Amino acid sequence: MHFSRLPLLWRVFAINAALLVAATLLLALTPITIHARIAIVEGLDLAVALVVMLAANLLLLRQTLRPIDRLVERMRKIDLLQPGQRIPERGGVEVAELTHTFNEMLDRLETERRESGQRALRAQEAERRRIASGLHDEVGQVLTGVLLRLDDDETKQAVRQALEEVRRIGRELRPEMLEQLGLVSALTELSRRFADSSGARVDRQFATDLPPLSDEAELAVYRVAQESLTNIARHADASRVEIALQPGAESVVLRVSDDGRGIPGPDASALNGHSGLRGMRERALLVGGALAIKRGTDGGVEVRFEVPAEER
């Protein structure tokens, strides 16, 4: 291994060790004492002293550089999808300065990520509205016109099914009920459609005294609920689903749980990168919310999303 690739501790130790060994050899082999040659006992004493100095040097260096090792380990564990994580600025002057600089970098990254993510989500929602409008105004009208011109009942039924599918896709792309009637009504309709299509029993627990949310927060809650129900329909094989919306501490808490197959691995990390989880975490991050996924009490999966209320 190249010397420059060794850990800092071992590089400093190697330099110090080389200097100590060179000094010891110089002392042992040069006639600077009254003896022409060093005695065996004196050689042993020098060797023991060298070992002691090297050990002391290693221990002192390890103690000095340990804060850097801890800092590196904490840096590896930082997850930008969980904002607010900061490393305590402890240790020597250099380590504290390095930690402070790293924390400042995290501040900039989180700010830039939040702003770029918000722009991306706004663009995504605008594109969804455009597509939904196109489906309704163009494709829907064409299918309706075709339906009126048909005489065969079987063909009419097929066109009616296609028209209903277009309308369903449009509703999923653009939750008009959320804009017109509010979050509770939109979630009620969403869960009703899920129950009709999946056959699962849906229990709703929607509080009536919810604190107000911003438009972006309401949309985030709706999308998280929508993605959770979609995942249940695709993967859970559940017979019972519970969806709840309750007030929290200056917040609103969405909870979606099922009695399906549950988390495949030992913990929720098995779901990372799957089933739209990353998109849900992104939405939670952008509205300052907290998303948690764990095993449900009935053996399935529970999604809990807490979003801060809008300041009155």
DSSP track, 194-214 = HHHHH--EEEEEE-S-PPP--
| Amino acid 172: pLDDT | 65
- How many other CB atoms are there within 10 angstroms of residue 260's CB atom? 21
Q: How far is CA 220 from CA 125, 129, 206, 226, 306, in A?
A: 11, 16, 17, 10, 10
State how far the Cα of 312 lies from the Cα of 310, in Å rounded to an integer: 6
**DSSP single-letter state for residue 256:** E
pLDDT at residue 263 above 80? no
Higher-scoring residue by pLDDT: 103, 265: 103
Q: Please, what is the average pLDDT of the chain?
A: 77
Under CATH, what is the fold of the domain 175-312?
Heat Shock Protein 90 (3.30.565)
pLDDT (tens digit per residue) in 174-222: 677 787 888 999 999 999 989 998 899 999 999 988 999 988 899 899 9
| Amino acid 36: pLDDT | 45
State how far the Cα of 145 lies from the Cα of 162, in Å rounded to an integer: 13
What's the rounded mean pLDDT across residues 124-139? 67
pLDDT (tens digit per residue) in 41-57: 666 766 776 777 777 77
What's the rounded mean pLDDT across residues 280-297? 85
Q: How far is CA 281 from CA 147, 198, 254, 272, 273, in A?
A: 43, 25, 14, 10, 10
pLDDT at residue 264 above 80? no
Phi-psi region of 272 (alpha: psi -120 to 50; beta: other; left: phi over 0): beta
| Amino acid 239: pLDDT | 92
pTM over 0.75: no
pLDDT at residue 110 above 70? yes
User: Which two three-digit tokens encode residue 296?
Assistant: 């449900």
Find how far residue 273's CA is from the centre of its chain.
9
In the chain, what percentage of residues exceed pLDDT 90?
A: 19
| Amino acid 287: pLDDT | 85
Which among 168, 166, 169, 190 has a CA at the least distance from the CA of 178? 190
State how far the Cα of 248 lies from the Cα of 246, in Å rounded to an integer: 6
Q: Which residue has the tokens 């807490």?
A: 306
Burial of 200 (0-12, 13-18, 19+ CB in 10 A): buried
| Alpha-helix residue ranges (DSSP H) falling in the chain | 8-29, 40-76, 93-134, 140-149, 153-173, 176-181, 183-198, 215-231, 277-286
8 Å CB contact between 252 and 307: yes
pLDDT at residue 241 above 60? yes
pLDDT at residue 34 above 50? no
Q: Which amino acid is at 132?
A: A
Q: How far is CA 70 from CA 87, 89, 90, 133, 144, in A?
A: 10, 12, 11, 54, 66
Range with the poorest average pLDDT among 27-36, 66-75, 255-264: 27-36
